């Protein structure tokens, strides 16, 4: 809710210089403090963090996970229509892990080549999502509410429901869930999206890396995502060979799909809905939103009686931007996750002339069906053999392939999206794509015009009639990232030329605050001239951009939200590689940073 007293999008702070220091930099008149570092006990028996790495898997299941990423603050009184800025549920993703920091002496292997079971358990537990009930005391200090029933860890092993068209589809049948209705865990949760009904969607991004297969022939559901002969952390090698671990080897066995885990990877790649206010509820994988490398999701503002619309990027080189439009209308009184189970998934085509189209990935759409029929005739999509889709569930499980067939525009790694609360325009970061235009790869196009795009850009569009359900839009490039003097030109006029105050590279996190300032976070090379990764603020009307925050050495800055009054900002620091935030701790610890203004004013104003 905008604060009526505040001029909306002005940037009132003095830009922060680039930095190589192993500490947080914020503007003059602001303060910062690390909060909820990896290993902080939040639930159960509240096991104390041990700096020697000897916390067990069971301990980690009750502590904040690693590699903090997307995050949202839910006011504690939200369900009662309230707007508390002093107490709420901070919900955050833990994307992946640093094995060196997690264990006493890094990842180990037994003499038989297996991995100690408790190391695997701990690694799975350091992934997922944390729900932390936090409260500000009368001195303004934030702390965990110990013993709160809302405090919760969801991990790479938590049981969850499959929802939407792929629920019960045979390609999701496993030994764990022979009817394809359930799975265990969410992995590689990068960004997120708060829903209009007060729940949290965690994205599954680079989930493919957790699985391995020894099969010579891999199904398209694996090939199009890069599931291959190695797994990122070798969880399938756990010494005790429990189902919970061997499932990461998806090689088919002798029997049927319900005797093994050949389909396990088909239960990942979704947006996962978590209700932080209902700690007993199982997370729900919403398959109608598609299966791909979901970076995150952003909802358009809801209107009573109209469909729910949300946007999601697939962060991989030459992948796509998607939009989901619900079949059922939104009514505030009855809204819920069921709205995400039925609808149309579209993929974006950005035309050369600044127009664009949303292409439905729906077998009932005549154009899409004709393209699918042509692909069957061709027998191949790209380099993947193709004999058609069995049904709409098959389309969704193979969303990338469906988008290839539809003729979508390949993008330079779509990361976070954001919707301007004032104009309704949709913004997406395109972080970089060093292969763009190279021999053997897709050429440049108007929306991705940089050969070997190393520093990225931010694109935006307006839906036709400013109606988020429209199938046509007009787009432009908001800004090109890069070094000093990098220009963004509109109608032959230089609208932005980057300076020392705002050079940046590889935009990733993106968020509109409640007043309409755009916050841009980076995950790029931390070499000169950019140095450590950072967060900038932008005025979407003037395209003025100023660096607001610089992170410690080696990190990416990802995840940002404020309290409703815009006076406390939470920012996540992921994969710091020095002794941060505690210089006396030998282990780097991912952490949230609390930023406040010394005069108690609105952040950024
Ligand atoms: Fe996990 Fe695309 O960043
Ligand atoms: Ca990341
Ligand atoms: Ca990201
Ligand atoms: Ca990134």
What secondary structure does DSSP assign to 175-204, as a single string? Answer: SS-TTS-EEE----EEEEEE-TTS-EEEEE
| pLDDT at site 8 | 72
Structure tokens at 122: 């701990």
Ligand 1 closest atom vs CA 188: 1
Is residue 295 lining ligand 1, measured as CB closer than 6 Å? yes
Cis peptide before 63 (omega within 30 of 0): no
CA angle 408, 412, 414 (to 5 degrees): 80
Q: Specify if 159 maps to a domain.
A: yes
Nearest CA to ligand 1 atom 3: 190
Q: Specify if 454 maps to a domain.
A: yes
| pLDDT at site 6 | 47
Q: Name the nearest CA neighbour of 167 among 381, 406, 341, 428.
A: 341
Neighbours of 495 (CB within 10 A): 15
Whole-number Å distance between alpha carbons of 394 and 266: 11
- What residues pack around ion ligand 3 (CB closer than 5 A)? 190, 415, 508
Whole-number Å distance between alpha carbons of 6 and 513: 12
Q: Specify if 4 maps to a domain.
A: no
Question: How far from chain centre, in Å, is Cα 53?
Answer: 28
Looking at the whole model, is its pTM more than 0.80?
yes
Structure tokens at 48: 């104390």
Whole-number Å distance between alpha carbons of 404 and 427: 23
Whole-number Å distance between alpha carbons of 486 and 416: 22
Nearest CA to ligand 1 atom 1: 190
71 contacts 90 by C-beta, under 8 angstroms: yes
Whole-number Å distance between alpha carbons of 340 and 302: 13
**Domain of 433?**
30-278+290-575+587-597
Whole-number Å distance between alpha carbons of 229 and 424: 44
- 39-47's contacts with Cβ under 8 Å and 24+ in sequence apart are 39/63, 39/64, 39/589, 40/64, 40/144, 42/130, 42/132, 42/144, 42/151, 42/152, 42/153, 43/151, 43/152, 43/153, 46/146
Q: Specify if 112 maps to a domain.
A: yes
CA angle 527, 533, 539 (to 5 degrees): 125
Q: Specify if 402 maps to a domain.
A: yes
Strand partners, 490: 493
How many angstroms does the Cα of residue 523 sit away from the middle of ligand 4? 5
Q: Specify if 283 maps to a domain.
A: no
Q: Which ligand is nearest to the CA of 315?
A: 1
Question: How far from chain centre, in Å, is Cα 149?
Answer: 26
The residues near 208 (Cβ < 8 Å, ≥ 6 apart) are 222, 225, 226, 227, 265, 268, 269, 293
Whole-number Å distance between alpha carbons of 589 and 426: 33
Ligand 1 closest atom vs CA 558: 3
Strands across the sheet with 182-184, in order? 182-184, 159-163, 284-286, 271-274, 200-204, 189-194
Residue with tokens 């409260």: 135
Structure tokens at 255: 């029997």
Ligand 1 closest atom vs CA 523: 3
Distances (CA, A) of 274 to 158, 248, 309, 464, 470: 12, 23, 18, 32, 28
Q: Specify if 23 maps to a domain.
A: no
Whole-number Å distance between alpha carbons of 470 and 426: 13
Is residue 205 lining ligand 1, measured as CB closer than 6 Å? yes
48 contacts 42 by C-beta, under 8 angstroms: no
Ligand 1 closest atom vs CA 415: 2
Neighbours of 563 (CB within 10 A): 22
Structure tokens at 321: 């931007």
| pLDDT at site 5 | 52
Ligand 1 closest atom vs CA 205: 1
Those residues of the chain that have pLDDT short of 70 are 1-7
Whole-number Å distance between alpha carbons of 450 and 488: 12
Is residue 204 lining ligand 1, measured as CB closer than 6 Å? no
Domains in the chain, number: 1
291 contacts 166 by C-beta, under 8 angstroms: yes
How many angstroms does the Cα of residue 95 sit away from the middle of ligand 2? 6
Q: Specify if 7 maps to a domain.
A: no
How many angstroms does the Cα of residue 448 sit away from the middle of ligand 2? 22
ipTM of this predicted structure: 0.92
Rg (CA), the chain: 23
577 contacts 589 by C-beta, under 8 angstroms: no
Neighbours of 61 (CB within 10 A): 21
How many angstroms does the Cα of residue 492 sit away from the middle of ligand 4? 31
| Measured distance between the N- and C-terminal CA atoms of the chain, rounded to whole angstroms | 15
């Amino acid at each position: 809710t905008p604060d009526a007293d505040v001029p909306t999008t002005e940037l009132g702070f003095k830009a922060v210089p680039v930095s190589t220091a192993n500490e947080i930099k914020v503007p003059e008149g602001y303060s910062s403090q690390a909060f909820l570092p990896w290993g902080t006990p939040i639930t159960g028996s509240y096991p104390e963090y041990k700096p020697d790495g000897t916390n067990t898997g069971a301990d980690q299941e009750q502590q904040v996970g690693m590699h903090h990423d997307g995050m949202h603050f839910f006011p504690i009184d939200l369900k009662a229509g309230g707007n508390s800025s002093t107490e709420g549920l901070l919900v955050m993703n833990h994307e992946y892990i640093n094995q060196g920091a997690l264990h006493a002496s890094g990842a180990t292997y037994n003499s038989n080549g297996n991995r100690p079971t408790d190391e695997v358990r701990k690694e799975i537990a350091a992934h997922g999502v944390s729900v932390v009930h936090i409260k500000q005391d009368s001195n303004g200090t934030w702390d965990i509410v110990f013993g709160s029933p809302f405090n919760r860890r969801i991990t790479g092993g938590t049981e969850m429901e499959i929802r939407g068209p792929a629920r019960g589809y045979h390609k999701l049948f496993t030994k764990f869930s022979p009817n394809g209705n359930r799975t265990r865990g969410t992995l590689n949760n990068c960004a997120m999206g708060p829903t209009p009904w007060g729940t949290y969607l965690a994205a599954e991004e680079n989930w493919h890396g957790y699985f391995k297969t020894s099969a010579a022939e891999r199904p398209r559901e694996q090939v199009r995502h890069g599931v291959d002969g190695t797994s990122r952390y070798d969880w399938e090698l756990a010494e005790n060979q429990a189902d919970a671990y061997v499932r990461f080897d998806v090689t088919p066995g002798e029997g049927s799909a319900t005797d093994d885990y050949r389909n396990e990877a088909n239960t990942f790649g979704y947006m996962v809905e978590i209700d932080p206010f209902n700690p007993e509820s199982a997370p729900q994988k919403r398959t109608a939103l598609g299966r791909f490398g979901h970076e995150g999701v952003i909802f358009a503002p809801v209107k009573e009686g109209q469909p729910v619309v949300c946007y999601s990027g697939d962060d991989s080189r030459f992948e796509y931007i998607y939009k989901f439009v619900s079949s059922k209308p939104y009514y505030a009184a009855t809204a819920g996750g069921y709205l995400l189970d039925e609808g149309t998934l579209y993929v974006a085509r950005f035309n050369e002339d600044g127009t664009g189209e949303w292409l439905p990935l729906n077998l009932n759409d005549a154009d899409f069906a004709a393209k699918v029929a042509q692909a069957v005739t061709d027998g191949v999509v790209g380099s993947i053999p193709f004999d058609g889709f069995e049904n709409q569930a098959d389309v969704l499980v193979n969303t990338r392939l469906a988008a290839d067939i539809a003729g979508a525009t390949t993008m330079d790694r779509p990361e976070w999206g954001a919707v301007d609360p004032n104009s309704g325009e949709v913004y997406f970061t395109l972080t970089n794509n060093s292969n763009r235009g190279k021999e053997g790869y897709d050429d440049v196009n108007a929306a991705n015009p940089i050969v070997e795009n190393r520093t990225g850009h931010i694109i935006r569009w307006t839906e036709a009639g400013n109606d988020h359900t429209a199938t046509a839009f007009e787009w432009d490039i908001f800004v090109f990232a890069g070094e000093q003097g990098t220009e963004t030109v509109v109608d032959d006029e230089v609208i932005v030329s980057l300076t020392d105050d705002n050079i940046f590279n590889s935009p990733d996190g993106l968020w509109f605050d409640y007043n309409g300032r755009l916050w841009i976070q980076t995950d790029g090379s931390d070499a000169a001239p950019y140095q450590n990764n950072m967060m900038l603020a932008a005025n979407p009307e003037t395209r003025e951009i100023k660096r607001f925050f610089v992170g410690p050495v080696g990190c990416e800055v990802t995840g940002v939200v404020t309290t409703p009054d815009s006076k406390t900002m939470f920012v996540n620091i992921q994969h710091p590689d020095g002794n941060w935030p505690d210089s006396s701790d030998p282990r780097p610890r991912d952490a949230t940073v609390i930023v406040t203004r010394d005069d108690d004013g609105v952040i950024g104003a």
